[in-house]
Chain A
């Protein structure tokens, strides 16, 4: 269940919660691109990563999210870090910075730097996405998503239907989870063991859960379709919208700042300009 609470919407009245979801999605995409741009040197990579890291920490603070909780939920990344480190130790080196040796096997610093850079990028990516999902209602995200699909609508793509499907799917997640609990209890009372047993026994137990779950989901969707039809829903008809997205001055301000950061990163990436050289610091 821990993975479900991760990044789940937390109702709170912060500045980030009030922002237009379209502006937030835009910022997410732009910052991710900025993080993953290729930079000339490691130093610039880490500089950009560091700036964005500080920015996300500030955002976390604004959104009343706990950085420690976030780190805890990122614990799976440590395994990945060790794995990456091992890969880069075997991979051919690009620089000559000798670190230490294990027996006759020479380890160079760039394995650590390369692995660190990837981890930093991943952590930033997860952090930014989590800020988005925990400050934005799923429904607002769907609306923003539908808005971004607007160009496709012009060529006849049914973006409003896709948005309705996502809305309904989100609406039914708790209901289906309840079903899972209910069916598991029913099957346990009939002697099915979901926890112990061999792999085959476990697969059998899961099948005894999945089949009734599918039956129930189909019955639900059939009744839902009837109810929607009876309440006058026609996917092809014109509908008005209850929820409207509002793009306000602070959204414009936020978009401007994000674009400024992105512009800077893009300049660093394309020109290969190294700000450390101005300070006379040698970098790799």
Chain B
């Protein structure tokens, strides 16, 4: 399988700082996967997002995106294939209405004006915002604004979507909506890769693959069920295992044989009630 992103020996130090924000980081992300990068504040995860998206250039190490090494020359062509959703819903809303905001990316891609309306409707319906096309951002909730941000990113026709703490300012319902939409998108387009940078453990437990960062170093990686087994290691960096996974591992310790395909609370409930 192709790798959508490869990071090799990446280090980064902010100007005027003596401590490295990222230290000798190497990992790769296969095409079509959903990868969560978790870590606490100051673990270097946002720095990583900025380097991958080319907003900051790494001094040491290489970033290979879609098989091309990221540099100043190919930055704009690579960027056309990836989309970022940031943390603050307000600060990434460019247009005066939902319609205009989705159109912003289309305008940048030089899509002919006549084709825009149908595309806008298509992307808005993918994030179920088709009823709010003419709403102004100040009349939308945070979750709705983030959904528009995703629609705006979809307008770029990305092969890779990066969430930089996209759900951290949302309420639980908003979070769930964003996750459901993301899984829906991945179902429609199996080659779409998603990197979610988050400190929400519950969200990370739904990913295919989890990377745990601490102080700029990669300390754990693997499937959620494997990573979240390492309770001691996680606790040493003040991260908790997700509720469902720790419940399942406690049940297993007690001798209850929970099947592998149980990945939601509802399924666990059904299994236990059998």
Contacts and interface: CB of A to CB of B under 8 A. Distances in A.
Interface of A: 137-139, 167-168, 170-171, 174-175, 178, 219-220, 223-224, 226-234, 237-244
Nearest to A172: B90
Interface of chain B: mostly helix, strand, loop or mixed: helix
B187 to A, nearest CB: 24
B79 A230 contact: yes
Contact of B107 (A219, A220, A229, A239): A239
Contact of B110 (A223, A230, A240): A240
Q: Shortest 5 CB-CB distances between A and B: which pairs?
A: A242-B103, A227-B92, A232-B108, A223-B91, A174-B138
A175 B90 contact: yes
27 contacts: A170-B96, A171-B96, A174-B138, A220-B88, A223-B86, A223-B88, A224-B91, A226-B55, A226-B84, A227-B84, A229-B79, A230-B55, A230-B84, A231-B105, A233-B104, A240-B106, A240-B110, A240-B111, A240-B113, A241-B107, A241-B113, A242-B103, A242-B107, A242-B116, A243-B100, A243-B103, A244-B113
A276 B116 CA distance: 58
A51 B103 CA distance: 44
Given A175-B90, A226-B55, A244-B113, A232 B103 contact: no
Contact of B96 (A139, A178, A224, A234): A139
Contacts of A170: 96
A231 B153 contact: yes
A48 B138 CA distance: 43
A240 B105 CA distance: 10
B117 to A, nearest CB: 8
Interface string B70-109: 0000001001100110101011111110011001111111
Contact of A230 (B83, B99, B112, B136): B83
B154 to A, nearest CB: 11
A154 B247 CA distance: 68
Interface of chain A: mostly helix, strand, loop or mixed: helix
B246 interface: no
B73 to A, nearest CB: 14
B111 A231 contact: no
Q: How large is the interface on B (under 10, 10 to 19, 20 to 34, 35 or more residues)?
A: 35 or more
A171 B92 CA distance: 11
A4 to B, nearest CB: 14
Contacts of A174: 136-138
Nearest to A242: B103
Contacts of B94: 168, 171, 224, 227-228, 231
Contacts of A220: 88, 90-91
A243 B101 CA distance: 12
Contacts of A219: 91
Most B Cβ at <10 Å: residue of A139, A230, A240: A230
Nearest to A226: B55
Given A171-B93, A174-B138, A231 B104 contact: yes
A58 B66 CA distance: 62
B76 A232 contact: yes
A236 to B, nearest CB: 11
A232 B79 contact: yes
Contacts of B91: 219-220, 223-224, 227
A234 B76 contact: yes
Nearest to B102: A242
A223 B55 CA distance: 11
B195 to A, nearest CB: 13
Given A168-B94, A230-B53, A240 B112 contact: yes
B152 interface: yes
